[in-house]
Amino acid sequence: MNFLSREATVAPPGFNRWLVPPAAISVHMCIGEVYGFSVFNVPLTQAGAGWTIPQVGWVYSIALFMLGMSAAAFGKWVERSGPRKTMVASCVCFCGGLLISALGVKLQMLWLLYLGYGVIGGIGLGLGYISPVSTLIKWFPDRPGMATGMAIMGFGGGALIGAPLGVKLMDHFHSATSLGVAEAFVAIACLYAVSMLFGAFLVRVPTADWKPDGWEPSQHVKPMMTNASVAVDVAWKTPQFWCLWVVLCMNVSAGIGILGQASKMCSDMFGVSAAVGGGFAGLLSLFNMGGRFVWSSVSDYTGRKTVYSIYFLLGAVLYCAVPWTQNIQNKTLFVAVTAVIITMYGGGFATIPAYLRDLFGAYQVGAIHGRLITAWSVAALLGPSLVNYISTARIEAGVPKAEAYNSTMFLMAGLLMIGLVANLLVRPVDPKHHVAETPRA
Amino acid sequence: MKTITLAIAWIWIAVPLGWGVYQSVQKSMPLFHGPSQPAAVSRPTP
């Protein structure tokens, strides 16, 4: 029996299920580093190879694109191989990608960065992102929202760690002959490999018949929740899958539009310095992380459909309130409104695995989640493009910078309304799609 | 032994996450201190 195999990770009797969330978080908080990659952009342009910001920016875009594609492509393999093998594969790809990127910086070959951090590292992101999802749902059938929310909170937290760590490492390795970027990549690869392998070592899957003490599945079935199973190849052809795809895409498009432009938006709307704007972006990351845990935990009590309706309705109201906070020049209110918006952006990410579990069962939920993440890839292009395009067009049309974002906010509220309609259309999956007898995942 | 493993596992993730939160809060402090320049706003003319 291979140490990495699913069989080797089956938990012994008496195993404490609360060891699984830290295993998942230790992987997610490493791969979440991708959100902090922008701290390397300027130093990379100064590395002497004549690279420009748009050229370097492609590294991040390729990585996020590969995250979605690999999660979709390898979902079934992840379910078959189990969380430990997947976490090790994720570690090899993500940390290996960082090492290849370090070589690219040293040799001044941009294509090595695209290949290393972008393609190979991006595959590591996708594998790592979905690796613990179905395991957590099986360990916490009584609170799947909270369990997956914790892991996905770790991904949000990865930005809080990755960005300052990258800056501190570059400062540490900075010398007369080097900006310290390559050395920082190597150091991050080594540190993160330890953390990810710790998670892989710690993770366990429950036995097929395991359930929490005193918990009976039949007593906890709600109208939108099933105990049956749907295979991934069937699930993605159902209307429910595509409704949730639209739900995720709209929620992420709206949130990422603000998150990606937070620093500039704050500066433009309230006349604060770039440093203060950067602080605002950091604060939003904090609320993004917190929202992932809080909202997904709340969904265990309210149901997923209700919580997404709250995201969309409350979100739309708050987006429409943003121009008003700028109009009355109330910075504190602006921060409060955008902070709540961003908690719901994070909450949307964190609640989706539990929503999928409710509709399709736990059998191949990780693989189904992997395919749904393609919505994130689309949203990552759609959201920032909309904000950039509209605000730039408005400024060029003579609108003051401070007011240039108003129409964008109303558009984001419109996107949330589309998401609301898709959410309201979600119905339980037709039993004809259920697997006759739930196989062991 | 199980309790110690559990404690180590949670400390393992709590320390870096706590450090990240601290860095973020520290960086965001200037947002709540000092006056900001009023942004250029167009007002309807009477």
At residue A10, the 3 state secondary structure works out as strand
- pLDDT per position as a tens digit, B3-41: 899 999 999 999 999 999 999 888 888 877 755 555 544
Query: What pLDDT does B45 receive?
Result: 37
- pLDDT per position as a tens digit, A332-377: 899 999 999 999 999 999 999 999 999 999 888 989 999 999 998 8
Query: What pLDDT does A15 receive?
Result: 92
Residue A437 is which amino acid?
E
The pLDDT of A298-319, averaged and rounded, is 95
At residue A385, the 3 state secondary structure works out as helix
Query: What pLDDT does B44 receive?
Result: 41
Is the pTM higher than 0.80? The answer reads yes
Of residues A370, A438, A383, A377, the one with CA closest to residue A231: A438
Query: What pLDDT does A392 receive?
Result: 80
Query: What pLDDT does A107 receive?
Result: 93
Query: Any residues with CB less than 8 A from the CB of A126 and at least 6 apart, and which?
Result: A66, A67, A68, A69, A70, A71, A72, A73, A74, A370, A373
| Domains delineated in chain A | 7-202 (1.20.1250.20), 224-433 (1.20.1250.20)
CB contact under 8 A, B39 and A29: no
A279 interfaces chain B, CB cutoff of 8 Å: yes
Q: Is the pLDDT assigned to residue A118 strictly greater than 80?
A: yes
Task: Indicate the range of A57-66, A296-305, A415-424 predicted with least confidence.
Answer: A57-66
Distance CA A262, CA A253 (A): 14
Q: What angle do CA A94, A16, A6 make, to 5 degrees?
A: 50
CB contact under 8 A, A282 and B24: yes
Helical spans, DSSP H, in A260-302: 262-270, 274-302
Query: What pLDDT does A396 receive?
Result: 84
A contacts of B28 (beta carbons < 8 Å): 279-280, 282-283, 286
Query: Torsion over CA of A261, A262, A266 and A268, rounded to 10 degrees?
Result: 0
Q: Is the pLDDT assigned to residue A318 strictly greater than 90?
A: yes
Determine contact, residues A203/A136, Cβ cutoff 8 Å: no
Residue A205 β-bridge partners: A10
**Which of B10, B38, B40 is opposite residue A401, by nearest beta carbon?**
B40
Distance CA A297, CA A5 (A): 31
Percent of chain A with pLDDT over 90: 59
A contacts of B15 (beta carbons < 8 Å): none
- pLDDT per position as a tens digit, A136-157: 999 999 999 999 999 899 998 9
The pLDDT of A63-83, averaged and rounded, is 91
Query: What pLDDT does A437 receive?
Result: 65
At residue A98, the 3 state secondary structure works out as helix
Distance CA A197, CA A233 (A): 31
Distance CA A347, CA A290 (A): 9
**Which of B6, B13, B37 is opposite residue A271, by nearest beta carbon?**
B37
Determine contact, residues A124/A93, Cβ cutoff 8 Å: yes
Query: Any residues with CB less than 8 A from the CB of A152 and at least 6 apart, and which?
Result: A28, A292, A296, A346, A349, A350, A353
At residue A272, the 3 state secondary structure works out as coil
For chain A, how many helices (H) and strands (E)? 18, 0
Distance CA A266, CA A146 (A): 32
Token pair recorded at residue A111: 């294509």
ipTM of the complex: 0.86
- pLDDT per position as a tens digit, A187-196: 999 999 999 9
